[in-house]
Structure 1
Amino acid sequence: MATLQRNAQKLFYYARNAMRDIAPQALFRRRLAGLLDQARLSDRSVRERLNYYNRLQEAFAPSPDAVPVSRLPTDRSMYYYDLKEFTRYFDPGLLIDLEFGDVIEVPKMPSIVKDRPIAGDNKNGVLFKLNKFRHFHMPADDIAFADKLPAAVWRGDLNNPIRTLLLEVARDLPFCDVGTPKRTAAAEYRKPYLSIDQQRRYRYIISLEGNDVATNLKWIMSSNSLCLMPPPTYETWFAESELVADLHYVPLAPDFSDLAERVEYLERHPAEAERIVVAANAYCRKFADEPTEQAICLLVLYKYFVLSSQIEPDAEVWRYISA
């Protein structure tokens, strides 16, 4: 349920991006060389993140289904705008393979995606910061961990067996408030809708993957509540595979058999719980550094276009990328 503030933010998002589309695109392309030159002066962490998102190393050719960056599909408007924000700096004739939406398998061709499986050879899934209005909404939390309700909460769609299993295991536990607000769900699973602010009143928030990644993971880890979840199996720009169990989140068994034990332990060891919250908050802060995020986005695309043999690399920029 959107708030007035959130609706205003969405309106601004669309207005800003529409204005960028109206502006002469040549103005953006003239800035590319300077932006790349500035990006190559970034520290090692930027290069590491760039090469995490874009793991391609060998030259390749775009597929017959590749589209020019001047004609990106617009049916998913936020995906379009998030990618167009940076492709507009490049030649409009450059070709790009992409898969918008939830990606549960690694593409056959190197493609720009929002997410990819963590396991196996996933380099053809080139991660980009897509659908960021939804996935990187991390509002400030002014309630201290100690002042929150000593219970665990979860709300969401029952769109996979893992989520239904959680409700089977936890719905009758006295310290759990779990359920789905969907009216189509079985009566025993239904619970009233809770906003982000309402969920953050609880000390423990459970994060579960849905069609792919867990949408709530970012705002949980940026809050003063503690994230409980099974280890992730998909990753996005948030780099979920870099999260460390018992450092950034509290791991749960796939069958949730240890849920009660975990919460009881954390209630007896609040300092340990708060240490994890602090580490999670620190992990999230890097995604709020907008100049760094923009530099990495440009470098991810630059590396893609160089390896697809569509642009000749600048020697200094390429030396920075491949160092």
Structure 2
Amino acid sequence: MTEKLDKLNNRKDWMSPEERVEFYLNNQKKIELNLDEFEIVKNENYWNQREMRLVSYRDFENTFTHWYCKHLVHLPKIRNLRVLPFYRTYKDLHSLMNFFHPFDRLGMDEVFKDSKYPLFYGEAGKTGHVQVIRKSRRSDDATSIIYNFRTLRLTLPCHVALKADNPWQKKADHVIWRGATTGQEQRVKLVDKYFDKYDIGFASVKQKPQLKGFKRNKVSIKDQLKYKFIISLEGNDVASNLRWILASNSVPIMKKPYWQSWIMEEKLKPNVHYLELNEDLSNLEEILSWAAINDDYCNEIAQNGKNYMSQFLVEKNDLPVQKLLLEEFTKRVSYIN
């Protein structure tokens, strides 16, 4: 699958590793990590205590945790286990697996193996102005650093989509959205507004049982890809379905992204990579009416998104960026008390 992506997509539209690393580092040429402040923020609440860690590769090298992350955590019957007897939470393992990849697969100099990295395993948790390394940050966050964490949840579905997808011409001229009730109220607003008009609804309402009237049947990625248009909405942080929609022959319909992650959402352009919803979500009907008479243009948008996303899915292109990011962080960081 990686070889197919490598051949089909236009590399000249991909960003250079150096450009990407500057984005992930928040364009910070010097990084001063105050260890006292790190400890204060870490102890502010229960989740930070669990999810903020100052670690090095050397801390884990040749340990059972390292072996487990390297050989087992990615396996289908293992990766969704949320509680393990020797570890606090599955998110830690998923993130550590990604942290280990550049060291294990590409090799890194001893200085980087010994370096300490301030990892944050969580999602939308607040870490103040501490320069933690996390999977996503808000658009107004000027300090946090992005790393390619949680790929089993966010990136693995892209490969499912690539295998299950249909050509644009064979897709239905309709829109679909399924999601959880997590995160911002915009999801509730979307479902309330369009539940009776389109195939839009909650797949699960466990967190907000009062919304059970807006629940619809769950739809697999394969079946969602039968539609030309798929809505993507942020929840606790990034929209988890955006990556696999971009990797497919369908078009994402979404608001301008507020959260940024490894795929650099702010680099996506409306009418180039996606069709843009208004802030109040009021223009969905207008978008679909326009799309109905601009089918070829929408097909082009889908292909632009697929090309954009492929730079993150071709491992021989993406893994060196992860390595360069950790190296640059080490070179730029200084630790103060």
Evaluate the alpha carbon distance shift between residue 44 and residue 208 of structure 1 in structure 2; reply closer, same or farther with a 3 A threshold.
closer
What RMSD in Å do the two structures reach over aligned CA positions? 2.2
| TM-score where L is the length of structure 2 | 0.73
Whole-angstrom CA distance in 2 between matches of 1:201 and 1:61:
48
Q: Alpha-carbon deviation of 1:80? A: 1.3
Shift in CA distance, 231/183, structure 1 to aligned 2, threshold 3 Å = closer
Task: Name which of 149, 152, 155 aligns with 1:130.
Answer: 149
* Cα distance change on mapping 1:233 and 1:61 into 2, 3 Å: closer
> Contact (CA 8 Å) 2:165, 2:225: kept in 1 or not?
no
Q: Unpaired runs of 5+ in structure 1?
A: 1-42, 311-323
Percent of counterpart pairs with the same letter?
Answer: 23
Aligned partners of 1:51, 1:305: CA distance in 2, in Å? 14
CA 1:87/1:142 → structure 2, altered by over 3 Å: closer, same or farther?
A: closer
Matches within 5 A, 1:1-323: 45-54=16-25, 55-61=27-33, 63-64=35-36, 65=39, 67-69=54-56, 70-71=58-59, 75=89, 76-86=92-102, 89=108, 90-91=110-111, 92-103=113-124, 105=126, 107-118=128-139, 120=140, 122-137=141-156, 138=158, 139-140=161-162, 141-159=164-182, 160-173=184-197, 176-182=198-204, 184=206, 185=209, 186-309=211-334
Mean CA deviation greater in 220-229 or 43-52 = 43-52
How many angstroms apart in 2 are the aligned matches of 1:268 and 1:172?
23
Cα distance, 1:96 vs. partner? Answer: 1.8
Distance in 2 between the 1:110 and 1:183 partners?
Answer: 35
TM-score by length of structure 1 reads: 0.76
For 2:289 and 2:235, the matched residues in 1 are separated by 26
Q: Which amino acid aligns with 1:296?
A: V
> Structure 1: which amino acid aligns with 2:304?
A
Q: Distance in 1 between matches of 2:238 and 2:195?
A: 23
Ranges in structure 2 where 5+ consecutive residues have no aligned partner: 1-13, 40-52, 66-86
Which runs of at least 4 in structure 1 moved beyond 6 Å after TM superposition? none
The alpha-carbon distance between structure 1 residues 246 and 104, as it changes in their structure 2 partners (threshold 3 A), is farther
How many positions carry a matched residue from both structures?
A: 264
Q: Quick one: which amino acid aligns to residue 21 of structure 2?
A: L
Which residue identity is paired with 2:102? F
DSSP 3-state at the match of 1:60: strand
CA distance in 1, matches of 2:244, 2:290: 24
The answer to whether the 8 A contact 1:181-1:193 is kept is yes
Q: Which whole-Å deviations, capped at 9, do the CAs of 1:161-219 have from their partners, x for residues lacking one? A: 1000001111111xx10111225442321100001001111111000000000000010
Contact conserved, 2:255 with 2:278, CA < 8 A, in 1? Answer: yes
CA distance in 2, matches of 1:287, 1:187: 37
